[in-house]
Structure 1
């Protein structure tokens, strides 16, 4: 009986965010299929190659961050408040370093792969610039967005573990695609 109640609680907590995740994925796909984004793929060859890796790493890096925060809340190691906490600060810094660092690496590897295959590619500085700018922007949104959502759900009595996965995927896809386009515009103007 307790197991059935627990399964139903998890389902109730998860179903709404899964619906939001579905809508977020459709929005991200719509942005990707838009005219300006298609033009960006033509303007910066190699952008399409790095896109799946860029979006996947948003989920990997910030999924781990969200899980770390959720576990800290459950164990009483982190208070659900926006005040200085060494554990929380270390997790935030590690997520920024990992998220931005892997973004730059994705840009460089995409360029190197295209060079090795003899395919047309944007310049190295352009691909790295695009992934750096979009990596910084997504890091800011995902770190602070996840903190607000994880702390808020915990305060409401919901289990953040049921929400972190779909939240990270949705926020990473939506903001990743949007900020990738912003980065294309910035790099196009600056370089």
Structure 2
């Protein structure tokens, strides 16, 4: 196999996912741009957005990589089985890590902005918004990552090629949408302080 054919195959596999990633990133930006009222209602939330979105990419990218490695090594079957302990363990760890990182990000934003003397929402509000958004996006990302990795593998695609763009795109779009829902929910329940 020549270098040219290997490069062509890699581009053919990656370009659709990268194109989708581009469109998804723009969609997430448009949604974030439309969240002015919510970002104003929870001072400091805008500072947390990059950390929360990066966390989703890192945590669920690791989940995808773990599943991909398991598939390549024959340790995981390319189908969703609730009895599969490796799959359950990997998804539970990803959800737990995502929630923990959400809390850490919220507390860090509160501490940093307070130390700088900037206006910031209460730590309880930031943590609540981050936890709700982390749970909503975590469940969605877990489902998407598992389905895409398994479906790609069954169709002869290298799941490692798919994981990065899929997690990035889905994490951005679902992450921003989850933040919007979380802010509205927390504020509606009286956590706006």
- For the criterion TM > 0.5, the same-fold answer is yes
Uncovered stretches (5+) of structure 1, i.e. residues with no partner: none
What is aligned with 2:89? 90
Deviation at residue 6 of structure 1 after TM alignment: 2.2
- Among 40, 51, 54, the alignment partner of 2:52 is 54
Shift of 1:108: 1.1
Alignment partners' CA distance in 2, 1:181 and 1:165: 24
Counterpart residue number, 1:110: 109
Q: Please list every run of at least 4 consecutive aligned residues from structure 1 whose deviation after the TM superposition is greater than 3 angstroms.
A: none
Please give the alpha-carbon distance, in whole angstroms, between the structure 1 residues aligned to 2:85 and 2:8.
36
Match of 1:25?
25
Distance, in Å, in 2 between the alignment partners of 1:2 and 1:69 is 29
Unaligned runs of 5+ residues in structure 2 are: none
Aligned equivalent of 1:75: 73
Counterpart position of 1:99: 98
CA distance in 2, matches of 1:20, 1:179: 20
**Residue of structure 2 in register with 1:185 after alignment:** 184
- Return the offset for 1:82: 1.1
Counterpart-to-counterpart distance in 1, 2:6 and 2:84: 32
Deviation at 1:5, TM superposition (A): 2.2
Whole-angstrom CA distance in 1 between matches of 2:9 and 2:174: 29
In structure 1, what is the Cα distance between the partners aligned to 2:88 and 2:73?
A: 17
1:117-150 deviations in Å (ceiling 9; x for gaps): 1111111111000000000001100011110111
Q: How many residues align?
A: 189
**For 2:3 and 2:92, how far apart are their aligned partners in 1?**
38
The residue that corresponds to 2:159 in the other structure is 160
Answer with 1-10 or 17-26: which moved more. Answer: 1-10
Post-superposition CA distance 1:142-184 (Å, at most 9, x none): 0111101110011111111111001110000000000000000
Displacement of 1:101 after TM fit? 0.8
1:134-153 maps to which residues of 2 (within 5 A)? 134-153=133-152
Question: TM-score when scaled to structure 1?
Answer: 0.96
